[in-house]
Structure 1
Amino acid sequence: MNRAEREAAVRRIMERAAAPVPPDLHAEAVRRGERLLWRRRLVHRVLWLLACAAAVAFAVWAARTHPWVEPPSQTTPPISGW
């Protein structure tokens, strides 16, 4: 198919009558978009809540166990009776 044939084919496609659009298409698209946005907001809020809960749980655990402190050595017995 050369360029002139392609242009003619495109013109024929463009000259056709537009396909009928359902009358409630816009309302359905708006409803669907609002539902998707609501779900996205809900998921983001839940994820933020989980992240905050994880941060608080980590802070409480770290405050109680002190993981940064080196544990006492258990390899040598205590010296007593000198």
Structure 2
Amino acid sequence: MNRPEREAAARRIMERTPPPLPPGLHADVVRRGGRILRRRTRTRRLLWLLLLAGVLAFTVWALTARPWVEPPSDPTPPSIGW
């Protein structure tokens, strides 16, 4: 099949009338779309909540452990026997 034949076939396909849709398809699609949107919203809220909890836990840990403070140095042991 060469290019003009392919173009003619594509034109014939596009000029045909689309087949009729089943009667309840639109309602099913709208219901399913709403369910998907609610699920995405719930997932997004859960992920934000987990991120907030992680930031809060890290902040509490950092304030109690204070990892930026240098630990106190231990004194050197006495030098006996020199």
TM-score of the superposition, structure 2-length normalised?
Answer: 0.76
Residue equivalent to 1:21: 21
CA deviation map 1:8-53 (0-9, x unaligned): 4345434545323111111111111100000000000000101111
* Aligned mates of 2:62, 2:14 — CA distance in 1: 68
Q: Which moved more, 1:10-19 or 1:47-56?
A: 10-19
Q: Matches of residues 2-81 of structure 1 in structure 2 within 5 Å?
A: 2-14=2-14, 16-74=16-74, 76-77=76-77
Q: Against the structure 1 CA distance between its residues 18 and 71, is the aligned structure 2 distance closer, same or farther, given a 3 Å change threshold?
A: same
Unmatched 5+ stretches in structure 1: none
By how many angstroms is 1:76 displaced?
1.8
Number of aligned residue pairs: give it. 78
Q: Against the structure 1 CA distance between its residues 62 and 14, is the aligned structure 2 distance closer, same or farther, given a 3 Å change threshold?
A: closer
2:74 maps to amino acid = Q
By how many angstroms is 1:72 displaced?
1.3
Q: SS at the partner of 1:18?
A: coil
By how many angstroms is 1:74 displaced?
2.8
Unmatched 5+ stretches in structure 2: none
* Aligned mates of 1:32, 1:69 — CA distance in 2: 55
Q: SS at the partner of 1:31?
A: helix
Q: Against the structure 1 CA distance between its residues 66 and 8, is the aligned structure 2 distance closer, same or farther, given a 3 Å change threshold?
A: closer
